[in-house]
Every structure is written in C-alpha cells, then in structure tokens.
Amino acid sequence: MPELPEVETMVRGIRPALEGERIVAATLSHIDILRGVTRPKLLAALTGARIERVFRRAKHGVLQLAIKSPTKRTTETRYFILQPGMTGNLLIYDRPLSPAEAKYAVLRARLGRGGEFVFRDVRRIGALRLLTQSGWEQYDRALGPEPLDPGLTPARFADALRHSRAAIKKVLMDQRKLVGVGNIYANEALFSAGIDPSKPASRVSADAYVRLYHETRRILQAAIDAEGTTFRDYRTSTGEPGNFQLELNVYEREGERCRQCGTRLAGTHDIDARITVFCWRCQR
C-alpha cells in the first residue's frame, strides 16, 4: 500500500502539470470507488474547474478546485481527494493512452493545455471524495499530524502516540494519531529506533519516543528522496517504477540476518493483521 513517501512522490509528479490548469472534460469508468459523491455530481464539479493547488494530506492526494457555482455567479472551493488504496496511481499523459493504459484508467480528466490527468486503479480499492470547504476542514481535523511537518516537535509527536495501551506499532499506523505511516515504514522506524513493536504505546519511554520521532522522519524523508519504495503496483506520475535506492532493514526480510547484530529476524502476525518483522535482540 502506498504510504506517505509514495503518495508524496505521486503528488510532486503531477503538480507541475496540474496547478493553474483547467479541466475541460472528465469521465469515470466505475462508480465503486466514489465515497459520498455521485458520478454526475463529481463530473459536473470537475468539468470547467480550475486546479488551484495540488498537495498531499496523510496518504491521499488532494486537488483544490475553484468551481463556478451553477446557480450563483460566484466561485466555490472544492477538495477532490484521491486515495490510492492498494493499486492506485496518479498519472499525467501528454499523448493518447494505449488500450492497456486506458483499461484501468478509472478517472480521466482532459486538461485545457492538452494532455490528461488519470487516476489509474487496477483493483479499485482506492477511493475518490469531493468535499466542500467545511467538509474538508472536518476531514482534516479527524487526521493526526503530519510526521514531516516542521512544526511537529518530539514532544508533540510523543503526545500524539503515548496515550494508548495498544501496541506501539498499531498506534504508529493509526491515522487519527499520526498520518502517513503504514506497515513498511512502521516496521522500519521501530527497528531503527530499537523499540519492540508489541510494546504498549503508553509504556514506551520518553527517550525511545525521541528516537522514534527522529527515525520516523529520517526514514520517510529518505524514502521521498528515493521517490518511494518500489511496490508491485507503484508507479511514479510518468508510469515508471520507483527507484530501489532505499535499503529496507526489516520489511520483507523475515528469517534473514539483522544488519546490526546478525540475529535472524523474526516475523509475527500477532500485533495486527499485517506482517511485523523485527529483531528480538535489537528491539527490546
């Protein structure tokens, strides 16, 4: 599943082609990825909309749109939220799509300058939402802080996580507490910080939280610099697989040797439904 670095990479890829651009026509192949909006409403809002801003919040891409109100002559703001889910990609095409590319193009938006913005989703586990200003504010408030926000201090980071008795790994992945971290980066950050992933968040020491704060930010930033870890279905905005520059220490390395101490890495599904890989010697 794309986590913060992968979505950030996608958003950075599409931003230059979209900001300030107008959508002249839009089509949607399936409605099963719509949440709280109908196809006619979404397409009516997109058609003619000006894309004011393209950004990321949590693991979602957001297009801030200026749309002409059909009744009044005023301009209204809408937030078009694209949640890539497991297999979703945000893509820009400056040429006609091949039949293979068009096959999984769920949303297609033709741009005023030519070219197309495409939300491609092979398995359609992703989601599309259209929110008003107040709807957006509510949505934003329900999410935790951004781990790479320059204003997020170690103290605020620890405060967001430590009030739960659930396993620290689960809490780190809880988007209401802190956004952007999924299974891959939770495994990696806990290993690098030397924290047992099954330890209750309320029992993680203050020192360990400081380490976790720095390691989480360092790893997410390194993954962004590497343009996202490569997933089976992950593509950058130009359809390229991500680089393999970021070396993962534990994720998908169950049974292999710990790079720090040589112990065989353990794997468990007991903490959550996902695989947790850890070194019982380095993570106490």
Catalytic choice (15, 56, 57, 59): 59
- Under rule CB under 5 A, residue 261 binds Zn ion: yes
Residue nearest to Zn ion according to CB distances in the complex: 258
Q: Using CB under 5 A, which of 67, 111, 186, 282 touches Zn ion?
A: 282
- For Zn ion, the closer CB: 110 or 281: 281
- Under rule CB under 5 A, residue 279 binds Zn ion: yes
- The angle subtended at Cα 125 by Cα 178 and Cα 32, nearest 5°, is 125
Distance CA 230, CA 243 (A): 6
- Under rule CB under 5 A, residue 259 binds Zn ion: no
Phi first, then psi, for residue 268 (nearest 5°) are -145, 150
Q: What sign does the CA torsion over 17, 22, 28, 34 have?
A: positive
- For Zn ion, the closer CB: 152 or 266: 266
Cβ(24)–Cβ(114) below 8 Å: no
Tokens of 157: 């980071």
Minimum distance, C-beta of residue 180 to Zn ion, in the bound complex (Å): 26
- Under rule CB under 5 A, residue 277 binds Zn ion: no
Q: Identity (one letter) of the amino acid at 245? A: Q
Is residue 3 part of the annotated active site? The answer reads yes
- Under rule CB under 5 A, residue 264 binds Zn ion: no
Cβ neighbours for 150, distance < 8 A, ≥ 6 positions apart: none
Minimum distance, C-beta of residue 209 to Zn ion, in the bound complex (Å): 21
Cα–Cα distances (Å) from 60 to 10, 19, 112, 139, 157, in that order, read 10, 17, 24, 12, 21
Minimum distance, C-beta of residue 258 to Zn ion, in the bound complex (Å): 3
- For Zn ion, the closer CB: 178 or 279: 279
- For Zn ion, the closer CB: 92 or 265: 265
Of 170, 28, 160, nearest to 104 by C-alpha is: 28
Q: Using CB under 5 A, which of 175, 198, 260, 268 touches Zn ion?
A: 260
- For Zn ion, the closer CB: 224 or 258: 258
Instruction: Count interface residues toward Zn ion (CB under 5 A).
Output: 7
From 116-124, 197-205, 237-245, 272-280, span contacting Zn ion (CB under 5 A)? 272-280
- Under rule CB under 5 A, residue 201 binds Zn ion: no
Catalytic choice (124, 217, 274, 281): 274
SS3 content of the chain, % helix, strand, coil (to 5): 30, 25, 45
Cβ neighbours for 176, distance < 8 A, ≥ 6 positions apart: 142, 143, 144
Positions in 140-199 near Zn ion (CB under 5 A): none
Q: Using CB under 5 A, which of 219, 258, 271, 277 touches Zn ion?
A: 258
Is residue 5 part of the annotated active site? The answer reads no
Is residue 215 part of the annotated active site? The answer reads no
Of 22, 11, 205, nearest to 113 by C-alpha is: 22
Is residue 8 part of the annotated active site? The answer reads no
- For Zn ion, the closer CB: 99 or 262: 262
Cβ(233)–Cβ(122) below 8 Å: yes
Tokens of 100: 């293979």
Cβ(197)–Cβ(169) below 8 Å: yes
Residues near Zn ion, by CB under 5 A = 258, 260-261, 263, 279, 281-282
Which residues are marked as active site?
2-3, 59, 274
